[in-house]
Amino acid sequence: MDEPHRPALRSAQWYGGEDRNAYIHRAWMRRGLPDSAFRGRPQIAIANTASALTPCNAHLGEVAQSVSNGVYEAGGIPLELPVVSLGETQVRPTAMLWRNMAAMATEEMLRANPVDGVVLLGGCDKTIPALLMAAASVDLPALVVPGGPMLTGHFRNEALGCGTDVWRLSEEVRAGTLSQEMFLRSESAMVRSKGHCNTMGTASTMALVAEALGTVPPGLAGTPAPDARLLEGAHDAGRLAVELVASDRRPSTFLTRASFHNAIVALAAIGGSTNAVVHLLAIAGRLGIDLTLDDVDRIGADIPLLVNLQPAGRFLMDDLFRAGGLLAVLREVRDLLDPTALTVDGKPLVDHLDDARIWDAEVIAARDAPFGERAGIRVLRGSLAPDGAIIKPAAASPHLLRHRGPAVVFDSIEDFRARIDDPALEIDEDSVMVLRGCGPRGYPGMPEVANMPLPRRLLERGVRDIVRVCDGRMSGTAYGTVVLHVAPESAAGGPLGLVRTGDMISLDVEAGILDLEVPADELAAREPDPRTVGAYAAPVRGWARLYVDHVQQADRGADLDVLVGGSGSDVTRESH
């Protein structure tokens, strides 16, 4: 029987031959390795976002060791490659400013080095999107191993949702229903173990969506970080990486429009973070797939909510895992999935659903008894958002999904913080809070500030939600009737920059409408407020300057225009 065709190893371009350059490449890497390490064995990079300053990813060194063991067992050579890491809770002014930089740096290092395939280790919000953007552009055989969520902490016998309960408890302090002392005592209970946020925030969402996309070994996403099965799955992923190289299974061979269809279905069914929309658009752009906000709305808007997790529900990620995980959720919406979409193991995603079961119906609902009807992320358009905006109905107040009220405008997050509790501020539960200057260019970096805290005097009256509109983002752990990602942003000349306090704004989520009720001729005659324009002073140097000069709007994924698409893995020139 003929041997199956195996593609030539890319790393042989460095290590093959007897000339001086091959000698240099081998000799400096040898460091005790046998000669066989450079003769026909695939070199597998382990792109590791572990960092003590990215606390949710700090344990990935242990995960990398299990991946390494699997790679070596399968005949490959594991090579740990530290890459740019972004701690969502730590970096200022916002981690989103550097998502594209992390993707670019990872892409270039994978292309520049003698590697044949890559295992991508991420967890905290921006790390998995950045790694996938890089992998899509360099197009080497690649798969993702998510770092997993933390275990649930408890305080006063209540389960704490990481992030979500920070927002909730801090509002209770401002409302006077929780003491500052008790609030601070909850701090040490908020993060119980290693791992990323245990709510359906962006980290959990992107891990699960990456699996639905086909880039994570099926069944692995959502495994809690302290669970021994994560290390078992990481070991198997290392073995699979060697198989990917042998099969020449690259992102471009299995990531298709059908893959993104399934990712959008999954996003809706799990009640995932709105941040996933901007990340999916960016990843698709790297692959040359023309994914749009209209696709997100068309595919996902009518999907039922099947997962009862904070912030849209009450349970947490370790509950989802024990209840059956993502595959059990997808089995309920199997008829809505595209059966042609493949996963990283070469099989269709739907082929992995036959044995999936719901083990706790309080956490994962059956399709015929969902936690919410038509709960997918909705896309809004209108005179206030000509290029689109989004809202997460599952995290909003039902009575506000159709609303009309006067705008209360804030020109920056600093302006908001200075005035929100000013007794002279005219605001009530019918108002629409508008925050601008928070888009990709205006901040810069599109921060998670859109879920603005309510005025103290409204909280004291028992009000817990009003409509909010912003060109920035909100944390996936946040909740409320918040319209996000308004495009074009105010700094790019969008209508948001022309809104004045007192203007009437109408929101109709069912109809997909967000309108500024100002006559077109009056709006055309308006000039942006000088305070708003002054807040957009462009950075003078460095990455921030490059970012502002080249970043696209939210409806196109907020990637840099010079990074859309890919350059492949070929490097034709020698280094010496």
pLDDT at 1: 44
Do 334 and 394 lie in one domain? The reply is no
In a domain, 2, yes or no: no
Report d(CA 253, CA 250) in Å as an integer: 5
Do 308 and 429 lie in one domain? The reply is no
Q: Cα–Cα distances in Å, from 127 out to 189, 279, 296, 383?
A: 25, 11, 22, 34
pLDDT at 554: 98
pLDDT at 168: 87
CATH number of the structural domain spanning residue 481: 3.50.30.80
Do 465 and 336 lie in one domain? The reply is no
Average pLDDT over residues 48-56: 97
Do 250 and 397 lie in one domain? The reply is no
In a domain, 145, yes or no: yes
Where does the pLDDT of residue 240 fall: very low under 50, low under 70, confident under 90, or very high at 90 and above?
very high
Average pLDDT over residues 20-43: 94
Do 307 and 416 lie in one domain? The reply is no
Average pLDDT over residues 305-325: 95
467 within 8 A of 433, measured Cβ to Cβ: yes
Per-residue pLDDT for 5 more than 60?
Answer: no
In a domain, 366, yes or no: no
pLDDT at 167: 85
Tell me phi and psi for residue 400, to 5 degrees: -105, 0
Provide the domain count of the chain: 2
- Residue 269 belongs to domain spanning: 41-152+192-352
Q: What's the number of CA atoms in the CB half-sphere (13 Å) around residue 528?
A: 20
Do 334 and 392 lie in one domain? The reply is no
In a domain, 203, yes or no: yes
In a domain, 232, yes or no: yes
In a domain, 183, yes or no: no
Do 394 and 509 lie in one domain? The reply is yes
In a domain, 16, yes or no: no
Share above pLDDT 90 across residues of the chain, in percent, rounded to a whole number: 88
Q: What's the number of CA atoms in the CB half-sphere (13 Å) around residue 504?
A: 6
pLDDT digits (tens, 9 = 90+) for 552-562: 999 999 999 99
Alpha helix (H) ranges present in 214-335?
228-247, 251-254, 257-269, 275-287, 293-300, 317-323, 325-332
End-to-end CA distance of the chain: 43
Do 347 and 384 lie in one domain? The reply is no
501 within 8 A of 469, measured Cβ to Cβ: no
Where does the pLDDT of residue 386 fall: very low under 50, low under 70, confident under 90, or very high at 90 and above?
very high
Where does the pLDDT of residue 46 fall: very low under 50, low under 70, confident under 90, or very high at 90 and above?
very high
DSSP class per residue in 353-421: -TT---S-TTTB--TTS-SBSS-SPEEEEETTEEEEEEE-GGGS-GGGSEEEEEEEEESSHHHHHHHTT
The residue type at 312: A
pLDDT digits (tens, 9 = 90+) for 349-366: 999 999 999 999 999 999
pLDDT at 163: 84
Report d(CA 182, CA 176) in Å as an integer: 12
pLDDT digits (tens, 9 = 90+) for 195-239: 999 999 999 999 999 999 999 999 999 999 999 999 999 999 999
Average pLDDT over residues 262-284: 97
In a domain, 127, yes or no: yes
Per-residue pLDDT for 151 more than 50?
Answer: yes
Most confident of 31-35, 100-104, 165-169: 100-104
Per-residue pLDDT for 534 more than 70?
Answer: no
Do 282 and 389 lie in one domain? The reply is no
Q: Is 494 helix (H, G, I), strand (E, B) or coil?
A: coil
Q: What's the number of CA atoms in the CB half-sphere (13 Å) around residue 264?
A: 29
Do 252 and 135 lie in one domain? The reply is yes
Average pLDDT over residues 338-344: 98
Closest CA to 125 of 225, 56, 59, 223: 56
Do 224 and 104 lie in one domain? The reply is yes
Report d(CA 182, CA 26) in Å as an integer: 60
Domain boundary residue among 301, 335, 352? 352
Do 347 and 473 lie in one domain? The reply is no
509 within 8 A of 391, measured Cβ to Cβ: yes
